[in-house]
Amino acid sequence: MASGRLMNDEVAASSLGPVTRFGLITGVPWGYLAIIGESSFRRVPSKNMKKYLAEFVGTFWLVLGGCGSAVIAAGFPDVGIGLLGVALAFGLTVMTMAYAIGHISGCHLNPAVSVGLFAAGRFPASDLLPYIASQVLGGLAGAGVLYLIATGKPGFELGGFASNGYESLSPGKYSLMSAFVTEVVMTLMFLVIILGATDKRAPQGLAPVAIGLGLTLIHLISIPVTDTSVNPARSLGVAVFAGGGYLSQVWLFWVAPIVGAILGAIVYRAIGGKDAR
């Protein structure tokens, strides 16, 4: 029953405007939760709900701050922040949230990161799906607020709305294979940075800086190729509003980052040894 509703919502959303589509799509993750066991949310202790809410807020900030810098500030006449500014903005969103909510939820903000941490043995399976649902909802909410802000400018054109893409929808017109390799490798290295910076043997208190700068570097490398995802929740959030080809290509930005995250966990466990925790 729930799966039928999920499919109907997706079909209906594809033919509606962005605001209406946002209202429908935000129901999708909750329909998904019904499939995997929505009742688990009702039974969890309040401290777990705080973790899920923190992931929602953090992912909201990542999409609003990172994608917002691309949509609103990157090309602003005379003083636009450009590619460098957008890359830095994504890094800053993660770094600021790592200090703000890292002690509450771990500050994943990214389904691929949650999967990678699970694969590395650092994250419990019981939290995996609630974290992903919270991240997806936060990404959708961040994209929704960004849409409301951006469309307040006369003559605003939606365009790609900071969405990710390949071939004709790639900023540099890179192929599907190039996009896939880029997202896998960038996410792999992101997980190695995260796992290394948060290893108990690493210098304490500096992990948010290393992770934020790592994400900045990843964006500097890969914005021309895919507009940089390495985060399925970030990709889905804005693609819902961009619609069309961007939404049909969003599958790649779920598959490639998750594959990369799992590979990153394997690589770090190999180089970090038995104490890689």
Report the candidate in 53, 191, 185, 58 with the shortest Cα–Cα distance to residue 122: 191
pTM: 0.84
Tens digit of each residue's pLDDT (9 = 90 or more) over 45-68: 677 899 999 999 999 999 999 999
**Crossing angle (nearest 10°) for helices 28-36 and 2-13:** 160
Q: Quote the CA–CA distance of 179 and 230 in Å, as a whole number.
A: 11
Asked whether 264 and 191 are in contact (CB, 8 A), the reply is yes
The amino acid occupying position 207 is A
- The answer as to CATH 3.40.50.300 being correct for domain 55-275 is no
Q: How many CB atoms lie within 10 A of CB 18?
A: 20
The amino acid occupying position 206 is L
Tens digit of each residue's pLDDT (9 = 90 or more) over 204-243: 899 999 999 999 999 999 999 999 999 999 999 999 999 9
Q: How does DSSP classify residue 123?
A: S
Per-residue pLDDT of the chain (277 residues; tens, 9 = 90+): 434 433 344 444 444 555 444 444 444 443 444 443 344 455 556 778 999 999 999 999 999 999 999 999 998 888 899 999 999 999 999 999 999 999 999 999 999 999 999 999 999 999 999 999 999 999 999 999 999 999 999 989 999 999 999 999 999 999 999 999 999 999 999 999 999 999 999 998 999 999 999 999 999 999 999 999 999 999 999 999 999 999 999 999 999 999 999 999 999 999 988 766 6
CB-neighbour burial class of residue 73 (10 A; exposed 0-12, middle 13-18, buried 19+): middle
